[in-house]
Amino acid sequence: MTTNTRVIEFNYILHDTLGEMIDQSEAGAPLAFLEGSGQIIPGLESVLLTMAKGDKREVHVKAEDAYGDRDETLVANVPLAELPTDQVKVGDMFRGGPEEEDPVMVVTAVQGDHVTLDANHPLAGKDLVFKVEITEIRTATKDELAHGHAHGAGGHHH
C-alpha cells in the first residue's frame, strides 16, 4: 500500500513532438489518479506532483519516462492459423493470453498465411507533449489507499 495520500485530477491534451494530437481528456471529465500508484506515466506524474490546483503547464516527456523504448523482441510473425479468427486486418488487436494482464498485440501486417503482431505499447519509443491543468487536489480516502487507485469521477468505478 502506498503512503502517499493525495488524489490529483487534471485535464490534458496529448501531442507528439510534431504537434499531432494523440488524445485528450473529455470536456468536464478530468482524469484522477492516486499519487505514487503507477496509474500514469512517471515523466508526467513527477511534474504533476509539483503543481497546485489551477496550475497549467506544458510537459515534455521523453519516451523512457513515458511508455519506454520500442522492444523489437515484442514483434512476431506468426501463422494466421494460430489466431482465433482468419478474418484479420492491419489494426486488429488480440490479447496474448487468457489473463487480463496478458499483453495486447496489434496486427501490423498480413502477408499470405502469416501475420505480424506487435505487443509494444502504441506510444513506445515516442517523446510526448502534454498540456495539463490541475483541476483538483484532495486527500485520498481510506478505500482509495486500500485499493491503490482513485475512485469516483475521473477515477476507478467499482
Please state the domain extents for the chain: 6-67+124-147, 72-118
pTM of the predicted structure, to 2 decimals: 0.81
**Per-residue pLDDT, 3:** 53
The residue to which cell 481510506 is assigned: 142
Q: Which CATH number fits domain 6-67+124-147: 3.90.550.10, 3.90.1140.10, 3.20.20.140, 3.10.50.40?
A: 3.10.50.40
Contact 34, 149 (CB under 8 A): yes
Contact 30, 150 (CB under 8 A): no
**Per-residue pLDDT, 154:** 59
Query: For residue 85, is pLDDT > 60?
Result: yes
- Condensed to tens digits (0 to 9), the pLDDT of residues 53-78 reads 999 999 999 999 999 999 999 999 99
CA distances (Å), origin 91, targets 71, 88, 95, 105, 118: 19, 9, 13, 9, 10
Q: Strand pairing of 6-16 and 21-24?
A: antiparallel
Query: For residue 127, is pLDDT > 50?
Result: yes
CATH 2.40.10.330 fits 72-118, yes or no: yes
Judged by average pLDDT, the poorest of 41-45, 81-85, 151-155 is 151-155
CB burial of residue 70 (10 Å; 0-12, 13-18, 19+): middle
What integer is the mean pLDDT of 36-59?
Answer: 96
Cα–Cα distance, 19 to 39 (Å, whole number): 25
Helix (H) or strand (E) holding 59: strand 56-61
Dihedral angle over CA of 142, 145, 146, 149, nearest 10: 130
